Amino acid sequence: MKILGNKMSYRKIIDSGLRSADDNICDQDKVWSRYSHDKVDIGEELTKVIRTLDKALPLNLKLRALSIGSSDEPQFRILETAFRSGLYLIDINDNALGVVRERIKRQHTSHVTTIKGDYNKIFLNSKDGKVFFKDTLKEKRIHLATLHHSLYYSEQRCWLDIFDNLYRNFLAPCAAMHSVLMSSKSVNPLTTTWLYNYFAGKFFGVHNDQDLCVFKNDLQTRPLFKKAQVLLRTNRVYFDVDNFEKFMAVVWMVLLYPQVHRYNLKQREEITEFVYKTFWRNKKPLIQEQDHLVIYKGVGFKGLI
Ligand SMILES: C[S@@+](CC[C@H](N)C(=O)[O-])C[C@H]1O[C@@H](n2cnc3c(N)ncnc32)[C@H](O)[C@@H]1O
């Protein structure tokens, strides 16, 4: 049996990769957040959006933001200081919001509000949207809406209606929307996109069809967005961790196992061996190509992206 540098046998290391398939998705996401620079990338792009808004709006105006699918981090840390007139964090998972609520109390940040809710219901249904606007936002429009890695949970055919509604009924006259999503196509086999399309395609005959580049074009055909600036940028994010079990934990999350695709044991073994041979043995990081879509409403100069 081949002995590896860290004294683990090939079988043992493959077994460790298979084990993390059963990890809780929140724990897998924590590994991703800690060992990739995804949150740094999001923070950097978001800062450009906030700088643009700061230039476009009066200095003494206190701003309000809405984070959709906010989870427990990093939206609180990134947005709390800039949006002092109200930061509204929506998530379907109350455990994540509980972490934020504890922080709000501990750190006396009462301008931050958590809302447990399904954004597909709130923003796709005009009745629920109206109730949300009246009861939660107190009929005050927002200057920023973020959808960071949260559009995965809505079919692309629904996105136009969600954006239409947000733009028309929730955004202030001068405002922005910032969405982030993994790119849907990549020819680079070291990317999350390629891995997903290859294995989900091979075993389930599907591929990633959620695409912010396509969506940008859809938006630009709508009269509502004629005067808006609709901007797109693609960045690269790297993930690497010195532990194969943790590396695979992120791969299972990317491959949507088991929530969407229930790869059987033989398929999971094939995936684990592929990742071991392609990434781990060659000391290659996993790359994520991710798209940032920024929409500026009522900004009279070219906004940053
Ligand atoms: C991948 S996490 C992204 C978290 C955070 N925005 C970030 O950038 O790290 C996606 C979040 O969206 C939430 N979510 C999924 N479906 C949702 C829905 N229908 N309504 C509200 N939140 C949802 C999940 O609970 C999860 O916290």
Residue 68 CB contacts under 8 Å (≥ 6 apart), including other chains: 90, 119, 123, 145, 146, 147, 150
**What confidence score (pLDDT) does residue 8 get?**
77
Kindly report, residue by residue over 275-289, the tens digit of the pLDDT: 999 999 999 999 999
- Is residue 20 within 8 A of residue 245, CB to CB? The reply is yes
Ligand 1 mean position to 148 CA, how many Å? 8
Query: Around 180, how many Cα atoms within 13 Å sit in the side-chain half-sphere?
Result: 25
**What confidence tier does 141 reach under pLDDT thresholds 50, 70, 90?**
very high
- What is d(CA 300, CA 228) in angstroms, rounded to the nearest whole number? 10
**Residue 83 near residue 64 (C-beta atoms within 8 A):** yes
> Two tokens at 298?
């009522």
Query: Which stretch of DSSP H or E encloses residue 35?
Result: helix 25-35
Pocket of ligand 1 (CB under 6 A): 42, 69-71, 75, 90-93, 96, 118-120, 148-150, 153
Q: Which two tokens stand for residue 223?
A: 């009269």
Mean pLDDT, rounded, for 157-162:
97
Give percent above pLDDT 90 in the chain.
91
Going by CA atoms, what residue is nearest to atom 3 of ligand 1? 149
| pLDDT tens digits, one per residue of 178-203 | 999 999 999 999 999 999 999 999 99
Query: What DSSP string runs through 233-252?
Result: EEEEEEE--S-HHHHHHHHH
Pick from 39, 88, 150 the residue to mutate for probing ligand 1's pocket: most ligand atoms within 8 Å of its CB: 150
Name which of 227, 221, 210 is nearest 291 in CA terms. 210
Residue 215 has pLDDT above 60, yes or no: yes
pLDDT computed for residue 6 by the predictor: 54
Whether the CB-CB separation of 34 and 262 falls below 8 Å is answered with no
**Region of residue 3 (left: phi > 0; alpha: psi -120 to 50; beta: else):** beta
Give the pLDDT confidence score for residue 3 in this predicted structure. 42
pLDDT for position 266: 98
pLDDT of residue 52: 98
Name the residue with the closest Cα to ligand 1, atom 16: 153
| 149 Cα: distance to centroid of ligand 1 (angstroms) | 7
pLDDT 10s digits, 65-101: 999 999 887 788 889 999 999 999 999 989 889 999 9
Through-space distance between the first and last CA atoms of the chain, rounded to whole angstroms: 52
Query: What is the arithmetic mean of pLDDT over 112-120?
Result: 96
Select from 73, 92, 250 the residue to mutate for testing ligand 1; criterion: most ligand atoms less than 8 Å from CB. 92
Q: How far is CA 221 from its chain centroid?
A: 25
CA of 91 to the centre of ligand 1 (A): 6
